[in-house]
Amino acid sequence: MMEEQKDVLVLAIESSCDETAAAVVKNGRTVLSNVISSQIALHTLYGGVVPEIASRKHIEKINQVIEAALSEAEITLSDVDAIGVTYGPGLVGALLVGVAEAKAIAYAAKKPLIGVHHIEGHIAANFIEHPELEPPFLSLVVSGGHTHLVYVKDYGKYEIIGRTRDDAAGEAFDKVARAIGLGYPGGPKIDKVSKEGNAQAISFPRAHVEGAAYDFSFSGVKSAVLNYINACKMKGEDYNQADVAASFQKAVTDVLVANAMHAVKEFKADKFVIAGGVAANSALRSAMRSACEEHEVRLYYPSLVYCTDNAAMIGVAAYYEYLAGTRHGWDLNAVPNLKLGERYE
Ligand code: KG4
Ligand code: ZN
């Protein structure tokens, strides 16, 4: 008789930015719990994430969040097979809270410790709700800190084929939202107000990086929006907030989709995955759906809760690292500018 495979349970911790999160993931695909303590309300007072406040809030919340994740999953620490934690990239003080906590738990409970790259987590979020999805595939990772086109060769094996030369897509959303008086967090607010606006109203630039077909640049479109609203103010005219938001959003999503489809053609891809906070954008999702249909490529994206920062995605990535034999030592540190595919030694 075949011996039954034992389940692998990962307790995962994420604290790289402004969400304190813990989750329990079974066999890399089933989320038993996904607890997120968001600091958004706190940072809204300052119009953006204040790193020191983020660290302090993480240290205050992390144990309660982990306790809730274990109890919602109806397990105890002794049932866990490994501890996964985001160790970069992100805000150093914020990352250190999660890393120190994960090390303490792993040490005390004698469990393997697995450091996870935050972007690897965002991509892995797609495995949760798409059991049939397996590498290789192409991926567009669009978050507050990153805009990458990535060829995912295998679990844990990445080739970055394009990246932003300046602002990340989410960063551009956040800055433009602030400039047009929508406040923080900008992405969801621009998404919402754009539904009332005309995306053809204003023609903002679509930047293409010479000689690097997969790279992005969003500082030009951001400046164009700022110039547009300043010009209106100088003339004593009001601008239409919804039209500016919708036209900006269209300029950004047009470039994201164009570069993504260029890569689809070159790589002859049959699967495309979008990931990260900006993957929650309704205009991007719908433009990618049409483009992928036209190019006969299957599109995958996570539910909204798995697009923005969460620990379930870190648990999924940690599971595949666990299978690949990744184990980190007690010297694991936070690496704020960790590169995708780079190993901490
Ligand atoms: O992945 P994420 O939660 O954190 C990082 O790793 O950066 O992404 C946060 C970013 C923010 O810039 C936020 O404005 C953006 O994702 N975002 C959105 C939407 N929801 C979140 N951008 C556009 N449309 C949205 N619906
Ligand atoms: Zn993120």
| Backbone torsion region of residue 90, taken as left when φ is above 0, otherwise alpha when ψ lies between -120 and 50, otherwise beta | left
Mutate to test the pocket of ligand 1, among 119, 141, 143 (most ligand atoms within 8 A of CB): 143
- Residues near 270 by beta carbon (within 8 Å), at least 6 away in sequence: 296, 297, 298
Residue 69 CB: number of other CB atoms within 10 A? Answer: 26
To the nearest 10°, the Cα dihedral for 282, 286, 288, 290? 180
Query: Ion ligand 2 — residues with CB under 5 Å?
Result: 143, 309
Decide: 309 in ligand 1 pocket, CB within 6 A: yes
Nearest CA to ligand 1 atom 10: 144
With contact defined as beta carbons under 8 Å apart, do 315 and 10 qualify? Answer: yes
Q: Which contacts of 325-330 are long-range, i.e. CB under 8 A and separated by 24 or more positions?
A: 326/114, 326/115, 326/156, 327/112, 327/113, 327/114, 328/87, 328/113, 328/114, 328/115, 329/113, 330/103, 330/107, 330/113
* Tens digit of pLDDT at every position of the chain (345 positions): 566 789 999 999 999 999 999 999 999 999 999 999 999 889 988 888 999 999 999 999 999 999 999 999 999 999 999 999 999 999 999 999 999 999 999 999 999 999 999 999 999 999 999 999 999 999 999 999 999 999 999 999 999 999 999 999 999 999 999 999 999 889 999 999 999 999 999 999 999 999 999 999 999 999 999 999 999 999 999 999 999 999 999 999 999 999 999 999 999 999 999 999 999 999 999 999 999 999 999 999 999 999 999 999 999 999 999 999 999 999 999 999 999 976 554
The C-alpha R_g of the chain, in whole angstroms, comes to 20
Mark residue 276 as left, alpha or beta (left: phi above 0; alpha: psi -120 to 50; beta: remaining).
left
Rounded to whole angstroms, the Cα distance separating 217 from 288 reads: 19
As a whole number of angstroms, the distance between CA 238 and CA 236 comes to 7
Q: How does strand 157-163 pair with strand 271-275?
A: unpaired
Q: Say if ligand 1 is within 6 A of residue 17 CB.
A: yes
- Whole-angstrom Cα distance, residue 237 to residue 116? 50
Is residue 316 within 8 Å of 124, Cβ to Cβ? yes
pTM for the whole structure:
0.96
Q: For residue 151, report the phi and psi dihedrals to the nearest 5 degrees.
A: -95, 115
